Structure 1
Amino acid sequence: MFTTGDAESVEVLLQVERKARGFLGVFQVSIGLDERYVRFTVTSETVTNGSFPQQLQDLIRKSMP
């Protein structure tokens, strides 16, 4: 988590790892392709209006092919 210089938001760098499935999954794990990094901003408005959990779910879903 990084501050943006704005008291109303923070930048987040999230590592998302995929579950290895089958031979291709094991191969991806062995060469480090099983993880992705997602960077996003969380604002105080997102937290107070309750939309943060959905925002996080959407980001994780989109990062997984």
Structure 2
Amino acid sequence: MEGTLDKNIVKTKMETLKEEKAKLESRSIELDIKTYEWLDEDKITKYILKSKEDLNPLTIS
């Protein structure tokens, strides 16, 4: 019984992390679009790559 409860807690936490990751990714895209107005293409590419690196710790496999 205890093992089942632990699995449910882990499953809930994983779902929460996936939701948080999705929110961060959509927010990152919004920020990329907004910053495009004042960054040239070379800089925006670097900014997008950096944003993706910042999200890496939240990657769930």
TM-score (norm 1): 0.38
- Determine which structure has greater relative contact order: mean sequence separation of CA pairs < 8 Å that are 6+ residues apart, divided by chain length: 2
TM-score (norm 2): 0.40
Larger Rg: 2
Which structure: greater strand fraction?
A: 1
